[in-house]
Structures are given as C-alpha cells and as structure tokens.
Amino acid sequence: MTVSARLAELGIDLPAVAAPVASYVPAVVHGGVAYTSGQLPFVDGALPATGKVGADVDPDDAKAYARTCALNALAAAADAAGGVDRLGGVLRVGGFVASVPEFTGQPGVINGASEVLGEIFGDAGRHARAAVGVSVLPLDSPVEVEVAFLLA
C-alpha cells in the first residue's frame, strides 16, 4: 500500500508545510534520506499551546502535539522528496519536550510522534529515537520533533 493510500485509509490530511521561523529549510534530501528540521505543532500557522509540560501543558495534550509535529515533519519531507509516496520509512525520530525539572515522562509524550508514524508506515515506521527534556523550545512550544525518512 502506498503512503498516500494509507493516509487516506486513516483519514489523515497532511498539513501545509510550516514556514520556517528562522534561517533554515523545512527539509532536505541527501543520500537516500529526507531529513526534517525540527517541527513545532503548528496548526494553521499557530501553536495550539505554549509553556512547559508538567506545569502549563498536560502530558496527554503534549502527546497529541507530538503527533502534530510528526505530521508536519511528514509534510515537509514529502515536499522536499517530491511527494509522500517517495518516502519509504522512518529511520530516526528526535523529540524535545519543554518540561519542568520534575517531569520525567518525555518518552510518553514523544510516543505521539512514534505511534502515528507506525500507523502510517507499518513495520517501515519502526525507528531509532531520542526523547529529551529541555528548558525551553522556540516560540515557547511545548514539543518539537525532527524525523529522518528513508526514501522509497
């Protein structure tokens, strides 16, 4: 099944590629891999929430934002690669969670990204991953995700 067919089956419409907030491109393709820049959970050009997970942002909401980040990454990679069906799988996910020092649930938050990529790509969506807690992210976003996609 193609990636576009799987997205349709899941009822997922990819968002427009988010405009960069600084001097970089959303994704680049090199050596059979599409690498995305860190993607924030933009929805229609705006962040759905700001602040720290464990204080201002509920962990379950942050998990949903990580899912949005992954879909934004998929859109950016597809745009750079020449279409979503040019993406063959997921190699690595890097997840960053702006959180209070006492919060240790970063892996659960970043599962929002990992799970949706698994739903879309199946076994080819299994990937290496990092889930890191940080003090602050750009624009005070609670979550940021970067993905390396294998080209088909």
- Strands (DSSP E) contained in 8-142 are 27-30, 33-36, 87-98, 128-134
Encoded tokens for 38: 């860190």
Q: How far apart are the C-alpha atoms of 62 and 76, rounded to whole Å?
A: 21
Query: pTM of the entire structure?
Result: 0.96
* pLDDT tens-digit readout, 12-44: 999 999 888 889 999 999 999 999 999 999 999
CATH of the domain at 43: 3.30.1330.40
Residue pair 113/125 in contact (Cβ under 8 Å)? The answer is no
Report if residue 61 sits inside a domain: yes
Q: Give tens-digit pLDDT for 112-139.
A: 999 999 999 999 999 999 999 999 999 9
Phi–psi pair at 58, nearest 5 degrees: -70, 140
User: Is 52 part of a structural domain of the chain?
Assistant: yes
Q: Residues 58, 66: contact at Cβ < 8 Å?
A: no
Structural domain that includes position 36: 3-15+26-151
Distance CA 40, CA 25 (A): 14
Q: How many domains does the chain have?
A: 1
Residue 105 lies in a domain: yes
